Chain A
């Protein structure tokens, strides 16, 4: 496989979806994220790369306030979604997460049927007015998750019975079903085999048409394959952020270069 095969890269400027300013995160005593500033564009795949423990997952989880569920975690600074501060007191994280969906490292289908897995989000958010409408949402989500053909005959079977790759695509379909604007993916392929990874990566590229996608990965090849923009994190700071092609071919910071050439990691 050609490691440095970059996706077609339109260099035109897109509008900013998420803007982070001076974000700091503390886990109790530990200072996990230090003064991160980044602008994530709409309809773009942005990859966060960096050695493990560099804070890329932590930062990702700030974007839909999943860190709220951890007691000792505190976030300062501003993160704006379409110009609105998501850490504003008036913002309900529940409403935020409906707009900013998330896919996790390990496929985590609920112990329910495939249909109910996908219908879960639309149901709690009240997106469907009738059963027929819900059916439609589920079908289109599964299609967008590129798994419809494989599961359309067994929608009432448990989601846990699928293979790993199918489970992850089901989870993506589940996230897509709530009509989010941003999709956060936390190492979505790390638990998958190469073939399933290829399928998911292809899917991510398709999702770019409708959503702003942010993907955390520790595989540089993957970042190179799927993303248009790449951010390199190291020891809690954002070292470099730019077009993927530029980061991988002509990094500005020596640390980025060291990481990409395999000297740190």
Chain B
């Protein structure tokens, strides 16, 4: 790990910078800290930061750019007939990387000398065999172009890494020297350091935006690639989801959307009444003892990981439902074939959402001013009349917001549907049938052997983007409603 060593030596240099910067400041002031503009440690921090921050920033950028640069240079070596389009090129390039990696390992283990690795030719050596000996398995025989590209790739990465070391090192030393020269008793070290810290804070805060941009971009480009290979109107408006490997897959989102919405609907059907009534009871009726006992217990349900709910759906609720509605079951009907179904996933997801709905509604109901309740009780209304006719209408917008948030949770939930809903994409109104959802298909299209040149894989990004837009829309709407609601009573 040359990068790791680089970072370690940068850190060491920074520590040294702190010590010498502090000492120099003190010595310019004749050893009297009162003579300094800032506290001595600020001078130390100044040197340390100036050494470390630009170097680390450059390192990060370098690590991002170098692979891109090398990739574009090396991919020019691949003849057009081998890679007629971008996706195929991507596949060839991943071969190139694997061969390069294999050569690295072979050199590291001593199976090849560094020179051999550079001059290896497919015409004379069985590269696949040689690499196989050191434990690098290659799918097919190595073509000469790929081998040459891989060798070039290795050379370029090596030079790149060496240059990176030099540039970063120089940058750090220049920063060190410059800030050391600056250090003087009248230098406003604190102001400079604080400005530096502030910009680091801003950087951290903008990471949230970077993440969002990253999410959108990472899905956006692959989605565009997908639409180049697959008809957009079929994706959005078609009625069938049937991926296959013959190249004529029907990939449309509507059946998946139907499954997603159906399951979410059932989940809300379970979670909303239970959660809402629980919230009403806890906030309006329960005394402190009951409240402090039941509320945390209910919230445990929210802290349980979704994998647990998934397992619960797959191994407990599903079989239970089959034993009730399936062949030879308690009801003597034969409505259910397998354990996975819309109902299985929906019910379990509903259980998961109960505390989500209840704690959100609890907050909302508590925000309704007490004067409203007093007004109603003072007129001789019973508690339940007050709740139904005054508190609930007043809290309605907030509760709608809470339900929308819960719906967005349900739509984006993955593990429960992966394990409990099934894999068959279809339009059906029967909740005992197995159906599939957007998230389930994302998982199945992106796990196992993925080929980023095929629409069957790329469709996952289009699905992901749709899911993102859908849940984002729901969240924004819900947060807007809740915020407006709170403002009303503030």
The reply, when asked whether chain A contacts chain B directly with Cβ atoms under 8 A, is: yes
Residues of B371-422 at the interface with A, using a CB-CB cut-off of 8 Å, are: 371-382, 385, 389-390, 393-394
Q: Which B-chain residue is minimally distant from A117 (CB atoms)?
A: B375
Known: A104-B371, A108-B374. A97 touches B393 (CB 8 A): no
B380 near A111: Cβ-Cβ < 8 Å: no
- Nearest chain A residue, comparing its CB with the CB of B379: A121
- Given A106-B371, A108-B372, A110-B372, the answer on whether A101 and B378 have CB atoms closer than 8 Å is yes
Please state if B378 and A110 are interface contacts (CB–CB under 8 Å).
no
Residues of B within 8 Å of A184, CB to CB, are 378
Given that A104-B371, A108-B371, A112-B393 are known contacts, is A120 also in contact with B376, CB under 8 Å in the complex?
yes
User: Chain B interface: which of A18-26, A170-178, A211-219?
Assistant: A170-178
A111 CB contact (under 8 Å) in B378, B385, B394: B394
**Is there contact, CB below 8 Å, between B376 and A98?**
no
Contacts of B385 in A (CB 8 A): 124
A102 at the interface (CB under 8 A from B): yes
> Which residue of chain A has its CB nearest to the CB of B377?
A69
How many A residues have CB within 8 A of the partner chain? 29
Q: A94 at interface (Cβ–Cβ under 8 A)?
A: yes
Instruction: Tell me if A64 counts as interface (CB < 8 A to partner B).
Output: yes
A106 to B380 Cα, complex, angstroms = 18
CA distance A64 to B393 in the complex (A): 26
How far does the Cβ of A128 sit from chain B's closest Cβ, in whole Å? Answer: 15
Among candidates A66, A120, A178, residue contacting B374 with C-beta atoms closer than 8 Å: A66
Q: Does A71 contact B (CB under 8 A)?
A: yes
Q: Knowing A110-B390, A110-B394 are in contact, say whether A125-B380 is a contact too (CB < 8 A).
A: yes
Task: Give the residues in chain B near A109, CB-CB below 8 Å.
Answer: 375
CB closest residue in chain B, given A68: B377
Number of interface residues of B (CB under 8 A): 20
* Interface residue? B287 (CB, 8 A): yes
CA distance A96 to B378 in the complex (A): 10
A108 touches B394 (CB 8 A): no
| CB of A106, distance to nearest CB on chain B (Å) | 6
> What residues of B have a CB within 8 angstroms of the CB of A64 in the complex?
378
Q: Which B residues lie within 8 Å of A66 (CB)?
A: 374, 377-378
Q: Which of A71, A104, A111 contacts B287 (CB 8 A)?
A: A71
Nearest A residue to B375 via CB reads: A108
B residues near A110, Cβ cutoff 8 Å: 372, 375-376, 389-390, 393-394
Chain B residues, CB < 8 A from A124: 379-382, 385, 389
Query: Does B129 interact with chain A (Cβ within 8 Å)?
Result: no
- Could you give, for residues 103-135 of chain A, a 1 whenever the CB lies within 8 Å of some chain B CB and a 0 otherwise? 110101111100000001100110000000000
Given A71-B287, A104-B374, A110-B375, the answer on whether A121 and B380 have CB atoms closer than 8 Å is: yes
A171–B377 touching, CB < 8 Å: no
Contact present for A171 and B375 (CB under 8 Å): yes
Partner of A101, one of B288, B372, B373, B379: B379
Is B369 part of the binding interface, using a Cβ–Cβ cutoff of 8 Å?
yes
Q: What residues of A have a CB within 8 angstroms of the CB of B371 in the complex?
A: 104, 106, 108
Partner of B369, one of A95, A99, A108: A108
Taking CB atoms and an 8 Å cut-off, the chain A residues in 48-102 that contact chain B are 64, 66, 69, 71, 94-99, 101-102
Report A-chain residues with C-beta under 8 Å of the C-beta of B379.
Answer: 97-98, 101-102, 120-121, 124, 174-175, 178
Q: Is the interface of B mostly helix, strand, loop or mixed?
A: helix
CB distance from B110 to the nearest CB of A (A): 80
Mark contacts of B24-52 with chain A using CB atoms, 8 A cut-off: 1 yes-contact digit, 0 otherwise: 00000000000000000000000000000
A94 contacts across to B, CB distance below 8 A: 380-382
B291 to nearest A CB, angstroms? 11
Residues of A within 8 A of B389 (CB): 110, 120, 124
On whether the beta carbons of B375 and A104 are closer than 8 Å, the reply is yes
Q: What residues of chain B lie closer than 8 Å to A121, measured between beta carbons? A: 379-381
Q: How far is the CA of A223 from the CA of B345 in the complex (A)?
A: 66
CA distance A102 to B373 in the complex (A): 12
Q: For residue B381, which residue of chain A has the nearest CB?
A: A124
Pair B378/A104 contact, Cβ less than 8 Å: yes
A163-198 to B contact mask, C-beta < 8 Å, 1/0: 000000001001100100000100000000000000
Q: Which residues of A contact B376 (CB under 8 A)?
A: 110, 120
Answer whether A175 and B378 are a contact pair too, CB < 8 Å, given A71-B287, A111-B393, A112-B393: yes
Q: In the complex, which residues of chain A have a beta carbon less than 8 angstroms from the beta carbon of B369?
A: 108
- B5 vs chain A, min Cβ distance (A): 66
B380 & A178 in contact (Cβ 8 Å cutoff)? yes
Q: Are B375 and A97 in contact (CB under 8 A)?
A: no
Give the Cβ gap from B484 to chain A, nearest Cβ, in Å.
13
Chain B residues within an 8 Å CB radius of A102: 374, 378-379
Contact of A95 with B380 at beta-carbon distance under 8 Å, contacts A71-B287, A110-B375 already known: yes
A111-B394, A112-B393 known; A97 and B372 CB under 8 Å? Answer: no
Determine how close the nearest CB of chain A comes to the CB of B397; give it in whole angstroms.
10
Residues of chain B within 8 A of A112, CB atoms compared:
393
A70 and B231 CA atoms in complex are apart in Å by 65
Complex alpha-carbon distance, A106 and B375, angstroms: 10
CA distance A175 to B369 in the complex (A): 19
Assembled-state Cα–Cα distance A69/B372 (Å): 13
Nearest chain A CB to B191 CB, angstrom units: 50
The answer for the CA separation of A120 and B375 in the assembled complex, in Å, is: 11
Give 19 A-B contacts (CB < 8 Å), ordered by A residue: A66-B374, A71-B288, A95-B380, A97-B377, A97-B380, A101-B379, A102-B378, A102-B379, A103-B378, A104-B371, A108-B369, A110-B394, A120-B381, A121-B379, A124-B389, A171-B375, A175-B379, A178-B379, A184-B378
- Having A95-B380, A110-B389, A120-B376, one finds 12 other A-B pairs with CB under 8 Å, namely A69-B374, A69-B377, A94-B380, A94-B381, A102-B374, A108-B371, A109-B375, A110-B375, A120-B379, A124-B380, A175-B378, A175-B379
A-binding residues in B (CB < 8 A): 287-288, 369, 371-382, 385, 389-390, 393-394
Q: A interface vs B, CB < 8 Å? A: 64, 66, 69, 71, 94-99, 101-104, 106, 108-112, 120-121, 124-125, 171, 174-175, 178, 184
Q: Which 6 A-B pairs have the closest CB atoms?
A: A102-B378, A98-B380, A97-B380, A108-B371, A108-B375, A121-B379
